[in-house]
């Protein structure tokens, strides 16, 4: 992870499946190169509030958190147990550098040391469990 690892919306590119997979690898939101179509037309990245500064993180915006970010956050939190809004609030509080240092440790697979994938229940590299992934079959009594 580095200073380009966090997309304006608060998603961490380095733990995304698109970034980690072997085939048709994505370079990450803030880097130039191959990306999935939906990321090239992202309305958050190209939001008019940023006045052309596409790399600006959304936490500094007067409309934060806007409906677009809230919708993304709802989906991400529910499906993957990860909140882009919380990430952005944390970055606002402690700064990008400190945030990245924390996330680097948080997502490190404790079996092989590679970064876990937020979209998968197990480490793509070694199959160790991703403890942050929501339990699908947990019984609520």
Closest CB to Zn ion among residues 14, 73: 14
Q: Which region, judged by CB under 5 A, interacts with Zn ion, from 10-18, 27-35, 68-76, 105-113? A: 105-113
CA-closest candidate to residue 6, choices 80, 70, 91, 75: 91
Q: Which two tokens stand for residue 81?
A: 């147990």
Closest CB to Zn ion among residues 59, 133: 133
Q: Which two tokens stand for residue 82?
A: 């990860």
Q: Which region, judged by CB under 5 A, interacts with Zn ion, from 45-53, 62-70, 84-92, 101-109? A: 101-109
DSSP 8-27: TTS-BGGGSHHHH-STT---
C-alpha angle with apex 87: 57 to 83, nearest 5 degrees?
115
Residue with tokens 């092989």: 112
Closest CB to Zn ion among residues 56, 112: 112
**Under the criterion CB under 5 A, does residue 125 sit at the interface with Zn ion?**
yes
Q: Which of residues 126, 129, 131, 134 is near Zn ion by CB under 5 A?
A: 126
CB of 34 to Zn ion, least distance (A): 24
Instruction: Judge contact between 3 and 50, C-beta under 8 A.
Output: no
Rounded to whole angstroms, the maximal C-alpha distance in the chain is 50
Q: Which region, judged by CB under 5 A, interacts with Zn ion, from 23-31, 39-47, 81-89, 110-118? A: 110-118
State the residues that interact with Zn ion by CB under 5 A. 109, 111-112, 123, 125-126, 128
């Amino acid at each position: 992870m580095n200073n380009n690892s966090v997309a304006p919306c608060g998603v961490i590119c380095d733990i995304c499946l698109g970034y980690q997979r072997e085939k048709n690898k994505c370079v990450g939101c803030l880097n130039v190169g191959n990306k999935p179509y939906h990321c090239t037309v992202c309305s958050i990245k190209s939001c008019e509030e940023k006045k052309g500064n596409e790399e600006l993180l959304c936490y500094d915006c007067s409309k934060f958190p806007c409906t677009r970010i809230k919708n993304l956050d709802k989906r991400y939190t529910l499906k993957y147990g990860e909140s882009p809004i919380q990430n952005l609030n944390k970055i606002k509080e402690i700064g990008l550098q400190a945030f990245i240092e924390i996330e680097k440790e948080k997502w490190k697979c404790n079996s092989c040391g590679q970064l876990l994938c937020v979209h998968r229940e197990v480490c793509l590299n070694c199959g160790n469990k991703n403890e942050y992934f929501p339990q699908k079959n947990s019984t609520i009594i």
